[in-house]
Amino acid sequence: MKAKLLGLLLVLSVLLPLHAFAQSGYQDPPTGQNALRKFCRGGANILFGIVEVPNQMTKITAAHGGGAGVTYGFGKGVLRWFEREGVGVYELFTFPVPVPKGYKPVMQPEFPAEDYEP
């Protein structure tokens, strides 16, 4: 009897919070800029800033050809990668402070792979 009651309580303790989570509207992404978004943006820039290298190589190759993509595109990608890393560290450590005004992104595009064109 105790085992059945314990099993029922365990199942309810898992299922009831899921139902409450589904009813609360947490599936909608937050709108606007806020401290949490700034924190996540900083982490994304640190972790995925390397994406700038192939992204810039692809963009320059499409615009100016393969030779430019391999040379100029690579250099531009490395430079933007380091910029992303620096901005990511800055945003990660200053996320509670609304600077720039309203937690606006320092670098455009906001996230590393937003404008990636394969």
Q: For 40-82, what is each residue's pLDDT tens digit?
A: 999 999 999 999 999 999 999 999 999 999 999 999 999 999 9
Q: What is the pTM of this model?
A: 0.69
Has residue 101 been placed in a domain? Answer: yes
Q: What's residue 26's pLDDT?
A: 53
Give the domain range for residue 108: 33-118
Has residue 8 been placed in a domain? Answer: no
Average pLDDT for 22-44: 76
78 half-sphere exposure, CB direction, 13 A CA radius: 6
Has residue 115 been placed in a domain? Answer: yes
More confident residue, 15 or 96: 96
79, 49 Cβ separation under 8 angstroms: no
Has residue 65 been placed in a domain? Answer: yes
